[in-house]
Amino acid sequence: MMRLGIDVGGTKTAAVLLASDGAVVGQHQVPTELGEGVVDSVLAAARFVLRDVGVGVSELDGVGLGIPGQVDADRSRIRNAVHLGLGAFDVGAAVGDRLGTRVLVENDVNAAALGARHLLGSDADAFAYLGLGTGIAAGVLLDGAVWRGATGVAGEIGHVPVPGATAVCRCGQAGCLETVAAGWALAERWGEPWPAARMLEAARAGSAMASAEWHVVVDALAHAVRMLVLTVDVDAVAIGGGMRGLGAPLLDGIRERLGEWSAASPFLAALAIPSRVHMVPAGSQPAAVGAAIVGSSAWKS
């Protein structure tokens, strides 16, 4: 039987359909409507991919939804999805009532961790997904299950200070990783939305300013990877989010920085951290794939 997963982002909503063997057999995305309009976006994406593949709701093994914000224990209600214009909202019930089946909800970054592991063909019990977008956060899997922490904020690595950073973060702290490498911070410094690609292009063209900026960003992201490995000893860290589009230069830069630190430390060298860093496949939808896994009747969170 097939599984349907939907990922609600700030600008787009993506749906994927997974076959029984785990292969992605259909996907579609639509613009995200904000507020309770997210329900219409979810239904539009879901219904398109179901029609495209020729599958009815009754034939599904489960439906999952990945969405920003805090997810309540009932796996249906969310809180504080501020970028979507939502406070407290029972999105699982709202979608399920109109789709005609139960919908299980998961935080989008946690869903992306499950999806990234699946897409990379990994069977690691300890796995992390590092989402690099407007904000920065990690989804962590321990013993194959989502690790939420004592209060549900495990993985908020974007708000951990990094060496050399001093700018005040939107969270109120100073020196957070997000102030260096998040999309919102880069946009403020460069005066345009999503400037990472232009920064890399300028650095390659010989701009000293862009090269310095690129080095700082890569250094901060390498710190985040090292922190994930040293705190929870994950087997793999998968890079995803908007900055994943930078491709090999970003991955190579992070690995190179980690390699420099390892060369100076026998302790780090023994951990082989550079080899643990990977990119999610280009064009994939890890959060939607993870949502499909969450929605499965066989899934145990």
pLDDT above 70 for 297: no
Looking at residue 55, its pLDDT comes to: 95
Residue 281 has pLDDT above 90, yes or no: yes
pLDDT band at 134 (very low <50, low <70, confident <90, very high): confident
Nearest to 75 by CA among 30, 39, 105, 40: 105
Q: What is the pLDDT of residue 80?
A: 87
Q: What is the mean pLDDT of the chain?
A: 94
The answer, yes or no, to whether residue 252 has pLDDT greater than 90, is yes
pLDDT of residue 73: 87
Q: How confident is the model at residue 120 (pLDDT cuts 50, 70, 90)?
A: very high
DSSP string computed for the chain: -EEEEEEE-SSEEEEEEE-TTS-EEEEEEEEPPPGGGHHHHHHHHHHHHHHHHT--GGGEEEEEEEESSEEPTTSS-EE-BGGGTBSSB-HHHHHHHHHTS--EEEEHHHHHHHHHHHHTT---SSEEEEEESSSEEEEEEETTEE---SSS-TT-GGGSB-TT--SBPTTS-BSBHHHHHSHHHHHHHHTSSS-HHHHHHHHHTT-HHHHHHHHHHHHHHHHHHHHHHHHH--SEEEEESGGGGG-HHHHHHHHHHHHHHHHT-HHHHHHTGGGGEEEPPTT--HHHHHHHHHHBTT---
> Is residue 301 pLDDT above 60, yes or no?
no
pTM of whole model > 0.85? yes
pLDDT value at residue 138? 97
Low-confidence winner among 23-27, 82-86, 134-138, 142-146 (lowest mean pLDDT): 82-86
Average of per-residue pLDDT across 42-50 = 97
Average pLDDT over residues 80-92: 91
Kindly report which listed range (43-52, 65-74, 245-254) carries the lowest average pLDDT score: 65-74
With a pLDDT cut of 70, the percent of the chain lying above it is 98
Q: Do 184 and 178 contact (CB within 8 A), yes or no?
A: yes
Least confident of 42-56, 71-85, 286-300: 286-300
| Per-residue pLDDT tens digits for 147-203 | 998 888 899 999 999 999 999 999 999 999 999 999 999 999 988 877 899 999 999
pLDDT tens-digit readout, 201-215? 999 999 999 999 999
Instruction: Inform me whether the pLDDT recorded for 270 exceeds 80.
Output: yes
